[in-house]
Structure 1
Amino acid sequence: MKEDSIQQAMCLYLVTDQRWVHHSFYEDIEEALKGGVTCVQLREKHMDNQSFIEEAKEVKKLCEKYHVPFIINDNVEVMLAVNGDGIHVGQHDMQAKDVRKRIGPNKILGVSVHSVEQAVSAYQAGADYLGVGAVFSTQTKDDAIVVDKQTLRDICDAVSIPVVAIGGIHHENIMALKDTGVAGVAVVSAILAQEHIQQSAIELKEQVLLL
């Protein structure tokens, strides 16, 4: 993907979580896509690879239908097996430079960072975008490190790739991220836990565009 395309894809980034299922997992993701999410990351920390692959194939079809990038969380084997658009890794997963070697130059590589030092290191290792958080306290990730607004701003200033804020973001607090330099936000429950998933995505995207 071209750099400007990745920038656009980071606007409203959906991270999946099986804990928030209203109708069916796939229906809920499609509702979010109808609402305008610009990227989907499939996150399955406790699923065997074969099941993960089967699920990934279905989610990839939905992403292709709505022309948004499909990212796999932390599993290079699954991403390569389904030919996903990219992969996202954390600080405790495989090193970014090693991931880049495995996936080649044309796949999207996202890296979670919590400091300027980590951000610069990930950028130099070939990351295409950074996920920074948690910017607010969150119940979705038990071990989340809270990153203050100034650090978020400093990270955005330190690298020339898109930065996505993640962690505890919802309709009521998203505007606190204004003027930080983020390309967009990544959310889970702010969309998937809501009664009206599509409408929640529409409203969140409207707010992101004001950041």
Structure 2
Amino acid sequence: MRLPHPPLLVITDRQLARRPLLSLIEEILAAGARWVMVREKDLPETELAELVKAIIERARPAGASVLVNARASVAAACEADGVHLPQGFSVAEARRIVGPARWVGVSAHNLEEALRAAEAGADYITLSPIFPPISKPDYGPPLGLGTLREVARAVPIPVIALGGITPENARACREAGAAGIAVLGSVMAAENPGGMVRAYLSAWGSSGCSGGEAEGLASDG
């Protein structure tokens, strides 16, 4: 299996967004975003499902994929493209719920966690924080590009760099072996979210990413 749409994964946080989340989603899709993770941990399951369905309705016409953070049952019920698991969640259990055709990603914070996720059958990992996080300044010491390079070389699945990723350092993440980058606060809190998406894609070295390009990028990771 290959990732749906590297290089850019946009993670939602409606509390950081400067406008209604669905309006922001429409803007970033128009700017070229093709991979969205719905990460609204405070929402009850029913409300989260309604939001996920609304985002999927907007994403599908653009050819974009939607993941749900943590709640595999919501991902399956809404026919999302997959689930992204925080550290400590069972990949096998998530796979049982969402089925073999949907993505299961895992958050990792060191080489050991990355290897464990790959061995458990995850399709990809996010590795964080690479740099001091924009939305979580007290998250912990950054791993740096050296650790990103080490993990990308060691695991057989794509590694998505997360934490403090900016248009200025995005290309360095690619050169260190990342298959893509994940962003949250820099897009959610931006006055011009669409402009930020375009800046990330340009910095990575792509004005967009078709399915064929996505496969090539994923294989690089």
- Using the size of structure 1 for normalisation, the TM-score is 0.90
1:130 and 2:155 correspond: no
Match of 2:154 in 1: 158
Q: What letter is aligned with 1:158?
A: A
Q: What's the secondary structure of 1:9's corresponding residue?
A: coil
1:196 and 2:217 correspond: no
Worse overlay, 75-84 or 172-181: 172-181
Per-residue CA distance 1:106-159 (angstroms, 9 max, x = gap): 110110111222111111111111100011112424773432222111110012
Per-residue CA distance 1:52-82 (angstroms, 9 max, x = gap): 0111110111111211111000001211110
Residue 104 of structure 1 deviates from its aligned partner by 1.9
Q: What letter is aligned with 2:186?
A: A
- The structure 1 segments of at least 4 consecutive aligned residues displaced by more than 4 Å after TM superposition are none
Contact persistence 1:60–1:70 (CA under 8 A)? yes
Residue 86 of structure 1 deviates from its aligned partner by 0.1
Match of 2:77 in 1: 81
Q: Distance in 1 between matches of 2:193 and 2:159?
A: 24
Q: What's the secondary structure of 1:41's corresponding residue?
A: strand
Residue 178 of structure 1 deviates from its aligned partner by 4.5
Q: Distance in 2 between matches of 1:39 and 1:144?
A: 24
Q: Distance in 2 between matches of 1:71 and 1:99?
A: 13
Match of 1:65 in 2: 61
Match of 1:19 among 8, 15, 19: 15
Worse overlay, 194-203 or 54-63: 194-203
Q: What letter is aligned with 1:35?
A: A
Q: Distance in 2 between matches of 1:21 and 1:116?
A: 32
Q: Which runs of 5+ in 2 are unaligned?
A: 207-216
1:172 and 2:173 correspond: no
Q: Distance in 2 between matches of 1:123 and 1:69?
A: 21
Contact persistence 1:43–1:72 (CA under 8 A)? yes
Q: Distance in 2 between matches of 1:35 and 1:99?
A: 31
Residue 23 of structure 1 deviates from its aligned partner by 3.1
1:186 and 2:182 correspond: yes
Match of 1:104 in 2: 99
Q: Which runs of 5+ in 1 are unaligned?
A: none
Match of 1:50 in 2: 46
Q: Distance in 2 between matches of 1:111 and 1:65?
A: 27
Q: What letter is aligned with 1:188?
A: L
Q: What's the secondary structure of 2:175's corresponding residue?
A: coil
Q: What letter is aligned with 2:98?
A: I
RMSD: 1.9
Q: Distance in 1 between matches of 2:30 and 2:199?
A: 12
- Using the size of structure 2 for normalisation, the TM-score is 0.86
